Structure 1
């Protein structure tokens, strides 16, 4: 089972799965132009019998204009099989983000992310892009508590032993409720559906409860 997950992560489990995703995210404003962000995402699966991934993302950002930031960094991504270490993935990550686009009471955030992926012990580099959009609506005028919906597609640009599809490999659709805990710290609770496109078989669905803590330091 470990080898199947390592080689074909999108097809090793094709049926529906219930999951829990725990995220801690922090952004530090280093200067007027420079930012640093650190994100850790822990993923737990019912079908995969517990912990299967701990994704750590470290990025440096440079502000090109108000709310427009260019980012680059590294992802450290160990994969697990029923809580036991299975294989290590490394990624280079580049992205551009445009935040706080106002449409009346709505606010929109856009992100275009590129990734290059490597897995230890395997030949090849997996290239992919990940367009993302999020729309948020406060529940009260001038309020900081609200509801958000988001969509992200994973589009693979080539094939490797661990990246088996060329084209759209999965998409994530989510709805979250967000609220501040204290100044500079928000919590988000939500549901995410991850649709996995499977070549030569039935598509799969992941149903994830998501809990996220987001901190901003100025």
Structure 2
């Protein structure tokens, strides 16, 4: 017989995770007192993963509410196909579409070619797991002819709380711009993401990750900071 979903086991961790999102939402009440280089946002992501013996496909749809979570300001669509070199090491590539609305009638659109190599210390969700990924992007604006190359180093740790898949999650991603163009940031370190949250199993093949994401944009003078409540739904086929 199919396993029935134990609502109490799901709702308890969701309630705890909700406290993280509540703190992020509460920050919006003070955001007007912050400098213009700070913002409170809400991002939602749906991730679909399909695997075979040697291949993995991952698709991401990410949308964001920006300007104190008051309007739809960003959209990201990404597809990555990876090949398992060993049980723990994989390499692949794909494509990303990115669009951002500045709120004053202008929308910037970008196409990215992606190559990456990843290491995962364990394939079991109930084990402590370290994930490392180096991603290279060739960023091509929809209006413009200069290509910006960027490196992204991703480090993530999963710490299990229960054997059913409930876990704490922390990750960091550093962005390094290899070259400067007339539309992108200067060369050097440009952005850093830091995330802390929880992973919540919902049913076989379906889970959620809820937490706080901090985005820091390195700029001359005062850095730009975004405080983001992030919710991700993960579907595994």
* TM-score range relative to shorter protein: 0.7 to 0.9
Higher helix share: 2
TM-score (norm: length of structure 1): 0.85
Superposition deviation, residue 143 in structure 1: 3.9
Superposition deviation, residue 101 in structure 1: 4.3
- The 2-side partners of 1:101 and 1:14 are apart by 42
Superposition deviation, residue 83 in structure 1: 9.0
Equivalent residue number for residue 28 of structure 1:
50
Equivalent residue number for residue 136 of structure 1:
158
Report the structure number with the largest CA radius of gyration.
Answer: 2
Change (3 A) 1:83 1:75: farther
Paired residues, number: 201
Q: Answer yes or no: is the 8 Å Cα contact 2:196–2:213 preserved in 1.
A: yes
SS of residue paired to 2:92: strand
**1:58 corresponds to which of 79, 100, 105:** 79
Q: Answer yes or no: is the 8 Å Cα contact 1:52–1:83 preserved in 2.
A: no
Equivalent residue number for residue 113 of structure 1:
135
SS of residue paired to 1:65: coil
Superposition deviation, residue 105 in structure 1: 5.4
- The 1-side partners of 2:106 and 2:130 are apart by 38
Superposition deviation, residue 203 in structure 1: 0.7
Cα RMSD for the two superposed structures: 2.1
TM-score (norm: length of structure 2): 0.79
Matches within 5 A, 1:12-161: 15-29=37-51, 31-46=52-67, 49-82=70-103, 86-101=107-122, 106-140=128-162, 142-161=163-182
Moved over 6 A (4+): none
Flag structure 1 segments of 5+ consecutive residues without an equivalent: 1-12
Q: Quick check: 1:187 aligned with 2:208?
A: yes
Q: Answer yes or no: is the 8 Å Cα contact 1:51–1:81 preserved in 2.
A: no
- The 2-side partners of 1:27 and 1:144 are apart by 17
Equivalent residue number for residue 4 of structure 1:
none
